[in-house]
Amino acid sequence: MLRRTALAATALLAAGALLLSGCTGSQPAPSRSEGTPDPDATVNVRLVLEPGNLDIRETGGSALDQILIDNVYQGLIARTPDQKIVPALASDYEVSGDKLTYTFTLREGVTFHDGQPLTPQDVVWSLTQERDTPTYRDSARLANVATIAAEGQKITLTLKAPDSTLLWSLTGRAGLILKEGDTIDRKTAANGTGPFRLADWREGDSIVFERFADYWGTPSSAAEVVFSYVSDNQAALSGALAGEFDVLTGFDANLKDQVEANGDFTLEIGDSTDKGTLAFNQTSGPLADVRVRKAIRQAIDKKSIVEALGAGKTMYGPIPSLDPGFEDLSEVAPFDPEAARKLLAEAGAENLSLTLTIPSAYGTTIPQILVSNLRDVGITLKVNPVEFPTWLNDVYGNKDYELSFVLHTEARDFENWANPDYYFTYNDPEVQKLYAEAVAATDDAAAADLLKQAARIVSEDDAADWLYNGQSVLAVASDVSGMPTVNVNERLNVAELAKSKG
């Protein structure tokens, strides 16, 4: 398993919805409040999936990316919710004309949360460790970097060959800067350069961030942010109405009227790169037959899923509409139960029985629809709900599953389809070749076109099914401002999150 896991149960649907409908147009701005922000305020945010530990170097799952990157840990550069690359620990950067040399100017006066200064050597050490430690989640993202060196405040990365993904990679786990020689236990503690420091982790309950007084940039708007982990949407709704939460992420769009009833909350919706993915283990058994996989795809009524969840967009390929290489692939596997039955008959797979392994936090909406749709074409689907750590171990780690559903939140993660070791179990040399060419491309349009070609092959191979492209669904209190609304299941930068006085 190379590269990041890109999955999360962070926008889960317990009673029912994570999706939203509609079009991508202009994106909603961060939430606003007309009151005066209280610099001493604590803002309480409901999240869904709690990380098993805090070691962002080696632990899979987007629950860590969501809260630790930007808030606690930072890289030389960062990305905004709408996917723009911006300076962070580097005040600026330059890329040579041949795309082989990247030069970053490191900011001066940056301090780690333990009081130690950030030095150019910390940067060189961090990136070198990431590149040279295969067990680190995104180590392979830096494999094309030949040298990493510092001269004064200038950090230079020299590549073996052009890499169109490098800047993007440096905005994620691969680019995080740690303190050389740090001895903390990263599974339970954190030491970064971000606007918040980790104040407390009450395992099974919440994670608390507090404003870092010596932050190099603009101080966080709130003195403290508490992330509470509540998987059930009805329980989250009750907590919000009782004043326990100021923001609900991963919320159910079907509960809009209830959460907005007294005027204290507003439902906010933003686009995302979330991909509700039904994975097929193609290594053996009936799912090794493309006819069976195609039949499953054609048996599933995606529009009914979107309707049941309260909002959302149908999706028919591995690249969502916000990412380079997107193409509408709805003609590849349209909803057609009769065609599905014929394919199953051709494959000799009538009366087929399969098991769906799914993190229990996702609730029952998706499984119920899948059970019903597949039963209509003669497939018996058994649902095996498991705790998320179990899913990570059994499905993601050991590939021990037949069908699996999980929400992949990471942007620009097509690389997983070019990686035969990934839990998708998909192995196609042409896709791998096209992806490698996209990485090596020096022109963005050319890279996107190569990704589009590869994505069509993946969909036509019925390598998986993509049940929906979700959006971020949040309920935000009327006295809260600065809450991001785009891609919040992937990354949640709360530096501007504020709560009004009174």
* pLDDT tens per residue, range 290-333: 999 999 999 999 999 998 888 789 999 999 998 999 999 999 99
Percent of the chain with pLDDT over 90: 81
Rounded to the nearest angstrom, the gap between the alpha carbon of residue 318 and the centroid of all alpha carbons in its chain is 14
- How many of the other CB atoms lie within 10 Å of CB of 492? 26
What is the predicted pLDDT for the residue at 454? 98
- How many of the other CB atoms lie within 10 Å of CB of 412? 20
Is pLDDT at 196 greater than 90 in this prediction? yes
What is the predicted pLDDT for the residue at 32? 62
3-state secondary structure 411-454: CCCHHHHHCCCCCCCCCCHHHHHHHHHHHHCCCHHHHHHHHHHH
Lowest mean pLDDT among 19-33, 171-185, 216-230: 19-33
CB-CB contact of 337 with 372 (8 Å): no
CB-CB contact of 469 with 321 (8 Å): yes
- How sure is the predictor about 24, in pLDDT bands with cuts at 50, 70 and 90? very low
Average pLDDT value over all residues in the chain: 91
Instruction: Tell me the three state secondary structure of residue 157.
Output: strand
Averaged over 224-235, what is the pLDDT? Answer: 95
Lowest mean pLDDT among 17-31, 118-132, 189-203, 242-256: 17-31
Instruction: Phi first, then psi: give them for residue 215, nearest 5 degrees.
Output: -65, 140
Q: Which residue has the higher pLDDT, 31 or 318?
A: 318
Percent of the chain with pLDDT over 70: 93
pLDDT tens sequence across 369-398: 999 999 999 999 999 999 988 998 999 999
Is pLDDT at 14 greater than 90 in this prediction? no
What is the predicted pLDDT for the residue at 4? 37
| Predicted model pTM | 0.81
pLDDT tens sequence across 87-137: 999 999 999 999 999 999 999 999 999 999 999 999 999 999 999 999 998
Nearest to 376 by CA among 301, 451, 430, 283: 301
Is pLDDT at 502 greater than 90 in this prediction? no
What is the predicted pLDDT for the residue at 1? 31
- How many of the other CB atoms lie within 10 Å of CB of 200? 12
Averaged over 31-47, what is the pLDDT? Answer: 87
What is the predicted pLDDT for the residue at 31? 62
- How sure is the predictor about 23, in pLDDT bands with cuts at 50, 70 and 90? very low
What is the predicted pLDDT for the residue at 20? 26
pLDDT tens sequence across 234-264: 999 999 999 999 999 989 999 999 999 999 9
What is the predicted pLDDT for the residue at 471? 83
- How sure is the predictor about 3, in pLDDT bands with cuts at 50, 70 and 90? very low
Averaged over 219-228, what is the pLDDT? Answer: 98
What is the predicted pLDDT for the residue at 33? 59
CB-CB contact of 468 with 312 (8 Å): yes
- How sure is the predictor about 463, in pLDDT bands with cuts at 50, 70 and 90? very high
What is the predicted pLDDT for the residue at 28? 45
Q: Which residues of 297-329 are buried (b: 16+ CB within 10 A; e: fewer)?
A: bbbbbbeebbebbbbbbbbbbbbbebbbbbbeb
